[in-house]
Structure 1
Amino acid sequence: MKKTNKIIDNAARELPVSPANAKPVDTAVKVGSFRWRICALLFFATTINYIDRQVLGILAPQLQSEMNWTEVQYGYIITAFQFAYALGFLIMGNIMDRFGARKGFSFAVVLWSFAAMLHAAASSALTFGFARFGLGIGEAGNFPAAIKTVSEWFPKKERSLAIGIFNSGANIGAIVAPLAVPFIALRFGWEWAFIITGALGFIWLAFWLATYKKPEDHPKITKAELDFIQSDSEEPVERIPWLKLFPHRQTWAFALAKFMTDPIWWFYLYWLPKYLNTSHGLTLDKIGLPLVAIYVLSDLGSVAGGWLSSFLINKGWSVNSARKTTMLICALAVLPIFFTSQTANLWIAVGLISLATAAHQGWSANLFTLVSDMFPKNAVGSVVGIGGMCGAVGGMLIATATGYLLDKTESYVPLFIISSVSYLLALLLIQVLAPKLKPMRPQ
């Protein structure tokens, strides 16, 4: 009996300190794992999301040659997506908080999948721009829905890991796309690359509708797992209109960090194939392996970044220290990206880019988790929407600027310099605006 009590006491010490209203968890009962099935659905949604947006970047050299796009026109096509993505984040974030993740996510996936398939009918820079606009509106729903779902299905001690896992789907999508898209395009034509990848969203939707409910309403979740999920739940509050979130420093800490670092990821996503083509001579049939190497390591970075802060919290670190220490490590790991523009060796460049993209994904997993750390669950979708909008605006600006810069100078040096320092500056802003990651207090 003494031995049993000792085991229970040790297990209890591993749990985070809960607020006064927290529900007790019987640590002698095995906690279930159904929540990880929900995480798997989020992972596959994010994978499909990134496959759909990556298709254009992979086909860009071929399409630019066939349709005589200039660098500026290609920049405008990307800007159309970014503008819609920014607008879509505000719309979709509000939809997720108003209608819930089940309905909201379903709507977003249908919209972006249809828009992805619509690219096959495009025949000019203008019509591609319209298709990208529709894709941007729909794809903006993925992260507000996914972060909201994690805040509902996971306690704080597991959220960064869950976000890191589903966020790694972005890299899996970026791995699958350079393997599948050239194969489809070279054998069946580029139009079928858009049609086949776009159809994946409708397959995912069937699984989502068959599986997802809120944890308190789900028939397959055990009481022990539900108690564990709700072990640090906050006091319920009324839904907060997104306009009332703007005055809070916590909102701006997240939003400005997204504005400064999301554009770097967009630069990687849309210009890496072109960089590898122009700087290292890689054609469509040879570009797959370097891109796969880059995004495999990015995948590891996403999971490792999410795991590290959760690990530190379980070791007794405060949420504030664990999140920011992990983000600092990631920011420092991005710095060497500057030397990419100085090397003529393909695999040295791939290694430096891989380190930077892995660090970005680890950073992103923790940055998203800050929202669930600082805001009540029924405001998470809106805050992620606001931050995503700012990140997309930054991506829109860098897309247009990159197009003009490369058209005039054909040099990637300034872009890699900006990429190397943005994360440290963003972390400094987070520290100034949210020094202790205090929860927002609704007025």
Structure 2
Amino acid sequence: MSYRRGWIAVFLFALAMINYMDRIALSIAAKPIAAEFHLSPVGMGYLFSSFIWSYALFLIPMGIMIDRFGAKRMAGAGVLVWSAATALTGAANSFAALMAARLVMGAGESASNPVGAKVIRQWIPAAERGLVTSMFNSGSYAGPAICSAILGSLIALYGWRLSFVIAGGIGFVWLAAWMLFFNIPEKAGWLSAAERELILRERDSHGPSLKSAASPAGTAAPALLSLLRSRALWGIAIAQGCNVYTQYLFLAWLPSYLQASRQFSVAETGLFSAVPYASAVILCIVAGRLSDRYVKKSGVGSGRRRNAVALSMLAGAVILAVPLVTSLTLLLIVFSVTLTGIASTTSLNFTLLNDLLPDSRNVAKAMAFVVVVANLFGMVAPIATGYVVAATGTYDWAFGIAGMLLLLGVGVILCMTRMPVAAVAPSPLPRQAGPA
């Protein structure tokens, strides 16, 4: 991969990293926040989940706007909104103010995944998309790793409010660099003519299996409703939902689990949590590169990447062993394997979506739909876990539910993603016979 395209991967990695730093900041600060505002596990579950409500609500409109107005402007607007909301969380003086800040943050963050998918399709040749998508997604795990290690210590020293100001401020640094340097390949003055030609030539190159599904040149981009008739799009979305449930279980409740069940302090929780997230960053990128090599011979349009997605979900299902583990070393290994599995599933599933989409004009809206469905599962995870913990006094069933959903996702991805994600016209109504 050219170093110029490599800078695009760095931008996307940093975008996802900042996104998830802001998301997990609340989880790291959960103990002092719950104490200050007198919140039960159920109350914290609703607070953890609240940003997903607005996030899911804005995803599809955001995806449509990104396809229409471009990634540069919409990413800039999204980062501006969510970074400001994160910083202002530190000024919240009531439960209602915390909820409001999280809702605004979620609305801004709806730009992240559709922007990533759009930029990857615009900039990255098909043979490199697995690697770059995994680099983009690995930022989602680098963020929690960095945030867990640093914010835990900051909270212990200075209290929870300053941690949100710092987390939010980082986003403004990324925003300045993005607006200054990023552009589409057609307009990027720092791109060589040869590399520009390669990118544009391969933008919609998938191989014979998808050529018949592509929209004719010069026609309007299909509407989202026509894409929703695709079985493969639903398969990717449902499998991603089964995966995201576990991701949000970790994001929301891992620090609380370590403090309640393993008697960790806030600072110890941050350091322990950072290790499996950091492992996931590295191994997710390796999985993305291996998946590119796996599909190279058959072509990305074959959809063979679904097998790599299924294998990653099986690795994530190791979470089922958590209730049986007593050793902290073994627990660290289980969490590392699980997080690597769900991180790889997300990046490979997003790459599979691009593999199976013949028309690049549909990328942001299709990605937005997948993330909406996934976050319906994610929305449930923090709340359901709060009720499970309140009812049983342990986290055992919370981990069990997550593992069973991952196994369900394996079946879904293998059975439902064997055709392109192409616009499908509605079936015509049968003609009624005239009077005899």
**Structure 2: distance between partners of 1:64 and 1:206:** 35
CA deviation profile, 1:68-111 (whole Å, cap 9, x unmatched): 10011111112211211211212221221121100110111011
1:138-153 pair list within 5 angstroms: 138-153=108-123
Give the number of equivalent residue pairs: 412
Write the letter of the residue equivalent to 1:410. G
Give the match for residue 130 of structure 1.
100
2:309/2:344 contact within 8 Å kept? yes
Tell me which residue corresponds to 2:295: 313
1:327-358 Cα shifts (integer Å, max 9, x gaps): 12212212322111122222211210110100
> Which position in structure 2 is the counterpart of 1:390?
373
- Matched with 1:362 is 344
User: Which residue number corresponds to residue 71 of structure 2?
Assistant: 101
Distance 1:293 1:270, change over 3 A: same
* 2:87–2:164 Cα contact (<8 Å) kept: yes
One-letter identity of the residue aligned with 2:144: A
CA contact (8 A) 1:305 1:363 kept: no
Aligned mates of 1:114, 1:191 — CA distance in 2? 14
Counterpart-to-counterpart distance in 2, 1:118 and 1:111: 11
Q: 1:177 aligns with which of 132, 135, 147?
A: 147
Distance 2:137 2:28 in 1: 21
Q: What amino acid is aligned across from residue 394 of structure 2 in structure 1? A: S
User: Pick from 56, 75, 89: which aligns with 2:26?
Assistant: 56
8 Å Cα contact 1:74-1:125 kept in structure 2: no
Q: Is 1:426 aligned to 2:396, yes or no?
A: no
Code of the residue aligned with 1:419 in structure 2: it is A
SS of structure 1 residue aligned to 2:402: helix
Task: Give the superposition deviation at 1:255.
Answer: 1.7
Contact 1:313/1:322, CA 8 A, preserved across alignment: yes
Q: For the Cα contact (< 8 Å) 2:242–2:377, is it kept in 1? A: yes
Q: Distance in 1 between matches of 2:72 and 2:424?
A: 25
Are 1:58 and 1:284, in contact at CA under 8 Å, matched by a contact in 2? yes
Q: Separation in 1 of the partners of 2:249 and 2:164?
A: 21
Residue 32 of structure 1 deviates from its aligned partner by 4.2
Q: Within 2, Cα distance between the matches of 1:238 and 1:317?
A: 27
Change beyond 3 A, Cα 1:321–1:147? closer
Tell me which residue corresponds to 2:213: none
Alpha-carbon distance in 1 for matches of 2:410, 2:392 = 31
What is the percent sequence identity of the aligned residues? 27
Which residue of 2 is the match for residue 42 of structure 1? Answer: 12
AA of the residue aligned to 2:261: S
Q: CA deviation at 1:418?
A: 2.1
CA separation of 1:32 and 1:300: change in aligned 2, threshold 3 A: closer
Aligned to 2:428: none
1:240 alignment partner in structure 2:
222
Aligned: 1:296 with 2:266: no
The corresponding residue for 2:237 is: 255
- Does the CA contact (< 8 Å) of 2:227 and 2:366 recur in 1? yes
CA contact (8 A) 2:59 2:111 kept: yes
Shift of residue 316, structure 1, vs aligned partner: 4.9
- The answer (yes or no) to whether the contact 1:310–1:322 under 8 Å persists in 2 is no
* Alignment match, 1:414: 397
Q: 1:119 aligns with which of 89, 94, 104?
A: 89
Provide closer, same or farther for how the CA distance between residues 424 and 155 of structure 1 changes in structure 2, counting only shifts above 3 A: farther
Shift of 1:439: 4.6
Is the aligned partner of 1:353 residue 2:323? no
Structure 1 Cα separation of the partners of residues 60 and 299 of structure 2: 34
SS at match of 1:286: helix
- Alpha-carbon RMSD across the aligned residues, in angstroms, is 1.8
Query: 2:60·2:365 contact (CA, 8 Å) conserved in 1?
Result: yes
Aligned to 1:10: none
**Native 8 Å contact 1:54 1:174 kept in 2:** yes
- Of 289-298 and 308-317, the range deviating more from structure 2: 308-317
Q: Deviations over 1:112-161 (max 9, x none)?
A: 10110121121233221111111111112111101110011011111110
Structure 1 CA distance, aligned partners of 2:18 and 2:124? 23
Q: TM-score, normalised by structure 1?
A: 0.89
Structure 2 residue aligned with 1:90, among 51, 55, 60? 60
Residue 201 of structure 2 aligns to a residue whose secondary structure is: coil
Equivalent in the alignment of 1:280: 262
CA distance in 1, matches of 2:94, 2:30: 13
Q: Which residue of 2 aligns with 1:381?
A: 364
Aligned-pair CA distance for 1:369: 0.8
Deviation at 1:318, TM superposition (A): 5.7
Instruction: Give the gaps of 5 or more residues in structure 2.
Output: 205-215, 426-436
Please identify, of 354-363 and 119-128, the stretch whose mean Cα deviation from structure 2 is larger. Answer: 119-128
> Structure 1: which 5+ runs fail to align?
1-30
SS of the residue 1:217 aligns to: coil
